[in-house]
Structure 1
Amino acid sequence: MSYLDNLLFAILLGIGIGYFSINVRKLIRNIKLGQDVDRSDNPSARWGNMALIALGQSKMVKRPIAGFLHIIVYAGFVIINLEVLEIIIDGLFGTHRVLSFMGGFYDFLIGSFEVLALLVLVSVIIFLVRRNVIKLKRFIHADLKGWPKSDANYILYFEIVLMSLFLLMNAADFHLQNLPEHFGHYSKAGAFPVSQYIAPIFDGMDSSLVSMLERSFWWLHIAGILVFLNYLYFSKHLHILLAFPNTYYADLNAKGKFNNLESVTNEVKLMMDPNADPFAAPANPDAAPAKFGASDVQDLNWVQLLNAYTCTECGRCTSACPANITGKKLSPRKIMMDTRDRLEEVGRNIDANKGVFVPDNKTLLNDYITPEELWACTTCNACVEECPVNISPLSIIMDMRRYLVMEQSAAPMSLNAMMTNVENNGAPWPYNQMDRLNWKEEN
């Protein structure tokens, strides 16, 4: 490579990583819009969750076929991209296969990369068939249309192009390495168990043309990786990065155990304090009064917002949801997608107004998620159990229900009747406590 090529590569690398860094800062800023919550307890269990669920894919393999294929694609993505280190060094310093000094180990690495690339191609094609030919129900659900459906396909196309470019690049390199006369810098290095069978397509071509094709595949491969990296922010495949912190910060409490709202606890303490003055001015008159529950993304905690960005949109939660199965409007996947969409909208608002959110007369509740969806939930935790990266749609649903009940008194009539009975009769049923044993007289 010439010095001009090295400079061009450095500029391309700088732009790719720079734009990615900008989006990462934006992502962190948006997540920090959420309320504070302490998830620093029991670090050993948290590290274990991250290792087992995010790295080990333990929840994915509950569906063996899809889980096995996903592990192949995941391992291929991680391991093959170790080659990017060599590409970066070669691109910046004009070398070619700079790590080939490792000899036999280098041969093993390149050979392993090629086998993985082939397996990834096969797996991705199967995934495309499942989505677009077989059309599994959770991939053609009403909440997965438009961009979310296209996004899933785009990322699979990306994988096919990147793996194909990798193998074509190696095939051209293999062809040039094995010419009878030594050509350029293409000295023998690496093992090519897959691309050696592709290399015959270059037989009969002029060596200079093959070299130009090899360089083209090389440039397109690294450019594709940088495009893929920056596409992640706009895609559900952000979970490739966020699955690790998301599983680490997931709730360790037993499923079904709900937290007490601090705002409610403070109100109760105030009511129970005989020395408290109910008419006293607030300590900080400029502070907004504490809200019971959540009506918008800023009312949720930062882990719930991290959940929204981590959602893989795989639909396992919705396919297991008894409310959805019986025809109710609720889809836990949609809850997470709506939360992310609203959070992105709030982020754009902040960007447009120089770092300050200007009220836009919209909220997550009603404008994105309807009360009908919230009240359809049975709180069975099936969605939480099914999620392969420990997301909890239920926690968002419950916080929004709390807002409806405690801020708007907008609970369904049957629920209001039950709460009135508990208040008046000490039980959910509309019978006076003195009449509870009357059933004995009927026998």
Structure 2
Amino acid sequence: MLAQIVFTLVFIVAVALFTVQVRKIIRNIRLGKNICRNDRKAERWTTMARVAMGQSKMMVRPVAGLMHLFVYLGFVIINLEVLEIVLDGIFGTHRLFAFMGGFYSFLIGSFEILALLVLLGVLVFLARRLVVRLKRFSGVEMKAWPKSDAIYILLIEVLLMTAFLTMNAADYQLQSRLYGHYIQAGAFPVSQFLSPLLPSSTEALVFIERFCWWFHIIGILAFLNYLPISKHFHILLAFPNTWYSNLNPKGHFSNMQSVSNEVKAMLDPSFTPPPADPDAKFGAKDVVDLNWVQLMNAYTCTECGRCTSVCPANITGKLLSPRKIMMDTRDRLEELGKAKDKNGASYHDGKALLDDYISREEIWACTTCNACVEACPVNIDPLSIILDLRRYAVMEESNVPNSLSAMFANVENNAAPWKYAPADRLNWAQGDWSKE
């Protein structure tokens, strides 16, 4: 009974702490401006099924994609077994679902095979980071915490899967001895080969089984509370993030409604624009000027570096890294959220995403090619944030590189980016081309 009470209290506290952290993240995301992304629902469900559940964009890089699929399936399916562990802990039972007979054996056997595949995938990922040292896992933004975070996650998964298999190996031995409440239940295609490595003493086997049981479930609850402060939170956010992703063609840029209204008023004197919001900005200077989908993108970022590895600006040595754009946005949002918790909802600390986190050099290095958007495995859109920061610089501050100032002047005076007058635009076509 004491063990049941302790477990129940630990479970309630862990879930409560996780709920508090998630509520703060939701609050932070809601600091963004409203945007409607509820159209084309069938297409959105299909996108989520294909990209988030089907891992379609991960498979562009087959080795990493296959290993990630092992880890992903293991995480999703093995955690079904957590339901039984939780109920066993609350009610003081052992293998509560054993009444399912042959199907239960199939489930446990499948869990063990998946656990072995998870271990394989995690070991490959550790080798890629620590031995091969792939270039896309490094960069100016990948400081001590981001690098350590990835390693911590992989090591936690190794420990959890090892504890699961060791628990089953001890359980397998105790079942074969018909000891106590260890009834014949489940199939153990992996752990039965680990069981000879365990001590022969029945008391030692009971201790190992109980220790690994507690370690496995406490580890899962601790990992649950680690998720909101790590890049691994994409496990949960990948699904809404892909559902709310931008379904327009990659080359389609959104218009600002306030600007569109001004243009309509100039072209049609009968058009009456709606009242303008006096606090509205052109573009974005800080995270509160971005929309909530962009802020959710920031929390969904896996820091995998696929976006940066295909960015032509980054490849040619420029300062821009799309991954850094997302990490900076998340860091600024976290900072602002904590400041509001401490000083009230209306508080602003005087800092901004532009300049304090993301430099002008970074936003103007972007070629708007959409390579980062195409490469992201969970449909994150760094380009939309870059464009909104540019819009603020241009339309609110008139602060642009000299080359763009000249182009803007040409558009205003000549109706084209070039310095030639409209009357001279076809001069290139003059002459006798037959002699060429």
TM over 0.5: yes
Are the counterparts in 2 of residues 76 and 113 from structure 1 also a CA contact under 8 Å?
Answer: yes
Are the counterparts in 2 of residues 238 and 310 from structure 1 also a CA contact under 8 Å?
Answer: yes
Closer, same or farther in 2 for the Cα pair 1:275/1:110, shift >3 Å?
closer
Which residue does 1:194 correspond to in 2?
A: 190
- Letter of the 1:31 partner, please give it: I
Are the counterparts in 2 of residues 138 and 314 from structure 1 also a CA contact under 8 Å?
Answer: yes
5 Å-filtered alignment, 1:71-150, equals: 71-150=69-148
User: Aligned partners of 1:274 and 1:104: how far apart in 2?
Assistant: 76
5 Å-filtered alignment, 1:21-420, equals: 21-179=19-177, 182-205=178-201, 207-269=202-264, 288-354=278-344, 356-420=345-409
Regions of 4+ moved over 3 Å = 266-278, 437-443
Partner deviation per Cα, 1:271-300 (whole Å, 9 max, x = no partner)? 66769999xxx979xx64310000100000
Shift of 1:440: 5.3
User: Aligned partners of 1:146 and 1:253: how far apart in 2?
Assistant: 37
Q: Secondary structure at the match of 2:397?
A: coil
User: Aligned partners of 1:292 and 1:246: how far apart in 2?
Assistant: 25
In percent, how many aligned pairs have the same letter?
62
Are the counterparts in 2 of residues 76 and 116 from structure 1 also a CA contact under 8 Å?
Answer: yes
Shift of 1:360: 1.0
Shift of 1:27: 1.3
TM-score w.r.t. the length of structure 1 is 0.94
User: Aligned partners of 2:238 and 2:428: how far apart in 1?
Assistant: 55
User: Aligned partners of 1:97 and 1:439: how far apart in 2?
Assistant: 83
Are the counterparts in 2 of residues 338 and 368 from structure 1 also a CA contact under 8 Å?
Answer: yes
User: Aligned partners of 1:357 and 1:316: how far apart in 2?
Assistant: 37
Partner deviation per Cα, 1:46-101 (whole Å, 9 max, x = no partner)? 00000000000011001111100000000000111110010011001000001011
Closer, same or farther in 2 for the Cα pair 1:417/1:86, shift >3 Å?
same
Are the counterparts in 2 of residues 346 and 357 from structure 1 also a CA contact under 8 Å?
Answer: no
Are the counterparts in 2 of residues 263 and 291 from structure 1 also a CA contact under 8 Å?
Answer: no
- Which structure 1 residue ranges, 5 or more long, are not aligned? none
Shift of 1:176: 1.1
Partner deviation per Cα, 1:101-147 (whole Å, 9 max, x = no partner)? 11111111111111111111111011000011100110122321211
Partner deviation per Cα, 1:341-364 (whole Å, 9 max, x = no partner)? 01111110111124x141212100
Closer, same or farther in 2 for the Cα pair 1:6/1:299, shift >3 Å?
same
Aligned residue pairs, count: 432
5 Å-filtered alignment, 1:420-439, equals: 420-439=409-428
Which residue does 1:20 correspond to in 2?
A: 18
Are the counterparts in 2 of residues 323 and 378 from structure 1 also a CA contact under 8 Å?
Answer: yes
- Letter of the 2:128 partner, please give it: R
- Which structure 2 residue ranges, 5 or more long, are not aligned? none
TM-score w.r.t. the length of structure 2 is 0.95
How large is the Cα RMSD of the aligned pairs? 1.9
